[in-house]
Amino acid sequence: MVVLSAARWVRSRLTDRFWRVQEVLKYARHFRGRKNRCYKLAVRSVRRAFVKSTRARREKKRFLRALWITRIEAASLEHGLKYPAFISNLFKSQVELNRKVIADLAIYEPKTFKSLAALAQRRRQEGFLAALGDGKEPEGIFSRIVRRY
């Protein structure tokens, strides 16, 4: 006779409980205390560790950018320029290097960084001169021609 469904009095038993537990414990082996051995404690710690790592992956970008900015600020102060002046003048002279690369240059290529600082300083002075204008006095209020239409 053909039996299509299993008999109802056969119960299935879990046979790979060990490996399911090891899947979680393998991520907890370097933890401190009983949470690296006991499954119940480990499950909670491993879950928190995963959540923290996902959040940290997003915050790592912010943290690294702040680090680069601090380094560039320190290096540009050595050459007598403040960070906002340095970065804004570099961008105005159409040099599009990002902060990571400028920080690396400041560490490993000091001469190149000095030339970049000199470039920014020169652009800054040209900007000041352009802002001053011609140096003439503005036209008088009463001598201005007002057209009424």
Partner 1 sequence: VAKTSLTSPPWPEVKLPDPVEEAKFHAEVVQKVNKMIAAGQYGRLFAVVHFASKQWKITSEDLIMMDNVLEAECGDRIRLEKVLLVGADDFTLIGRPLLGKDLVRVEATVIEKTESWPKINMRFWKRHKYQKKKIIVHPQTVLRINTIDIFPCLS
Mark the segment that binds partner 1 (CB under 8 A) among 4-12, 75-83, 100-108, 141-149.
Answer: 100-108
Q: Does residue 128 touch partner 1 according to CB under 8 A?
A: yes
User: Is residue 29 classed exposed, middle or buried when 0-12, 13-18 and 19+ CB atoms within 10 A define those classes?
Assistant: exposed
The CB-of-103 to partner 1 minimum distance in angstroms stands at 10
Among 42, 81, 105, 106, indicate the residue that binds partner 1 (CB under 8 A): 105
Give the C-alpha distances (Å, rounded to integers) separating 56 from 52, 71, 132.
6, 22, 48
Q: How many residues does the chain have?
A: 149
Please say whether the beta carbons of 134 and 103 come within 8 A.
no
Q: Does residue 80 touch partner 1 according to CB under 8 A?
A: no
Q: Does residue 67 touch partner 1 according to CB under 8 A?
A: no
The CB-of-100 to partner 1 minimum distance in angstroms stands at 7
- Smallest Cα–Cα separation from 110: which of 84, 76, 65? 76
How many CB atoms are closer than 10 A to CB 109? 12
**20 or 48: CB nearest partner 1:** 48
User: Which residues bind to partner 1, rule: CB under 8 A?
Assistant: 47-48, 50-51, 53-54, 57, 93-98, 100-101, 104-105, 108-109, 111-112, 115-116, 119, 125-126, 128-129, 131-132
